[in-house]
Structure 1
Amino acid sequence: MGLLFYKNILERNFKMNFNYKVIVSKRRKTVRVKIASEKEVIIYSPYRISNKEAEAIINSNIKQIEKLIDKLAKLRGPSILERGWLYILGEKVPVTIIEKKEEGISLKYDGQRVYLSINPNHNQDEVRELIKKWYKKIAKEYLIRLTVEMAEKYNFTVNSVRIKDVKTRWGSCSSKRNINLSYKLIMAPKEVVGYVIVHELCHLKEMNHSEKFWREVSNIIPNYKVYLEHLKKFGHNYEV
């Protein structure tokens, strides 16, 4: 479904620990419930529905929703604070927690270790947002520079490179020669990052996934399938 059909978006907190969103699309014939993440459920509907109707749909599917959210939580594993490390370019960087009496949280990185200063009564969502903001910052510094360097190396002309917060794609390329990359790539190994960048660069020549496109990718990264498989198997680990 394209963005053209994302109409009448209604967001509202549900009584459980997730939000739901209603997206109306005339292309649909039936109502469908999708688990977008541990904190977001999407209802796709061919027609407008009220808050009451939306909550009734959630309630009628609550057991399946809880089951799928639980499955996602297990796939994601423990929280960053529980596991004690963060991924940076495929490496596990240790996290040191510094408790403080003052409100608010802060993050510092010395190149080898991440230091999180937090109040014992911290809000987990605030911590997650701070880490996400930090990831986006270093992603902009590293990924944009690397994309420009690789474009020059392999003779591609790129108009712009942007870092995005997207849920379902590692990267995208437009007909205007603009490349978008997910900030989450900064968590993946360098070789995987390189593959995604080459993948998007090759779309500058072939705006599809034809045999010709994959030959272009293979000419630069002969073993690209290894990195493609890595993202399929381990991509869910690169979440905040």
Structure 2
Amino acid sequence: MAFFPPLVLPHGQVQPYAVRVSTRARYLRIQISAADGVVVVLPSHYPPEQVGVALAARAAWIEKHLQRLQGQRPQELSATEADPEDLPASLSLAAVGQVWAIRHMRSASLNTARLTAAPASRHLYLSHAPEDRDAPRFLLRRWLKQEGERHLFPLLATLAAETGLHYRNVSLRHQRSRWGSCSSQRSISLNAQLLFLPAPLVRHVLLHELCHLREMNHGPRFWALLGGWDPDTPVHREALRRAAWQYVPVFFRGGS
């Protein structure tokens, strides 16, 4: 039986939790409800030794929602990590070495939600009506996609020139389970959330997709080709297994 470490909240309280393994889960997910308390949902392949790290990173979020539960009836409140109230205060785009602060304003007088970027100060100003709970997710994901096109597309073009592996076109999406893909029509699709990853991992993903232009499989010739351009491929492959929960803010995870 796997050992799971205690969950210690920011104010020192040890919080009990249940663990559920799901064959359908792709990432560690935390659910909180008055009926079931804290439940940690794990993918079947998730390393137990990493659970403590993940819980420590989410301890403040867990404590906040447990405090909300006090005095509530079971049917009145439940929380998952996708709660739109959990807007991050800043975004760290490790791929390009940038940190953007978010200033969030709700106003009943606003008819149209908007996001204004101030590149000089690296601030994002987000405003919307209180009842428009979908606006922050939509606007920030759209902004992230625009930034991805601005930074990732030129990087891919540079790597294509270096390797001589030329694609036909490239697109950017919020993909749920892939960092990138390459079609037989020589079209590459990249995940906008790559911007949250360290630059060496981003380079590895882009090289991976470029190598598929020559080898549309994961056979020995593919890995030999990729290893020639990225000698640290084994290290980067292992790091990518943890990258989603380690680097991507909960607010941005998932597709659509």
Q: Does TM, scored on the shorter chain, surpass 0.5?
A: yes
Does residue 1:88 correspond to 2:93, yes or no?
Answer: yes
Change (3 A) 1:38 1:107: farther
Spell out the pairing of 1:5-84 with structure 2 (5 A cutoff): 34=24, 68=41, 77=58, 78=61, 83-84=88-89
Q: Confirm whether residue 224 of structure 1 aligns to residue 229 of structure 2.
A: no
Offset, 1:149:
1.7
Q: Take 1:164 and 1:217, find their aligned partners in 2: how far apart are those partners? A: 24
SS for the counterpart of 2:153 is helix
Matched-pair contact (CA < 8 Å) for 1:89–1:188? yes
SS state at 1:222 partner: coil
Shift of 1:101: 5.0
Q: d(CA) in 1 for partners of 2:221 and 2:194?
A: 25
TM-score (structure 2 length as normaliser): 0.60
TM-score, structure 1 normalization: 0.63
Among 148, 159, 177, the alignment partner of 1:150 is: 159
Whether contact under 8 Å (1:80, 1:86) holds in the other structure is no
CA RMSD across the alignment:
3.3
SS in structure 2 opposite 1:68?
A: strand
Amino acid at match of 2:115: L
Q: Structure 1, residues 77-119: CA drift from partner, whole Å, max 9, x if none?
A: 4478554111323454322334545324322233342323325
Selected match of 1:187 from 162, 180, 196: 196
Give 1:122 deviation, angstroms. 5.1
Distance 1:96 1:153, change over 3 A: same
The equivalent residue for 2:186 is 177
Per the alignment, residue 109 of structure 2 pairs with: 102
Percent of pairs identical after alignment? Answer: 23
User: How many residues are matched?
Assistant: 183
- Structure 2 unpaired stretches of 5+: 1-21, 30-34, 43-50, 62-83
Offset at 1:235?
1.6
- Residue 68 (structure 1) shift: 3.0
Match of 2:170 in 1: 161
**How much does 1:137 deviate?**
1.2
Q: Does 1:213 align with 2:186?
A: no
* Compared CA separation, residues 189 and 108, structure 1 to 2 (3 A): farther
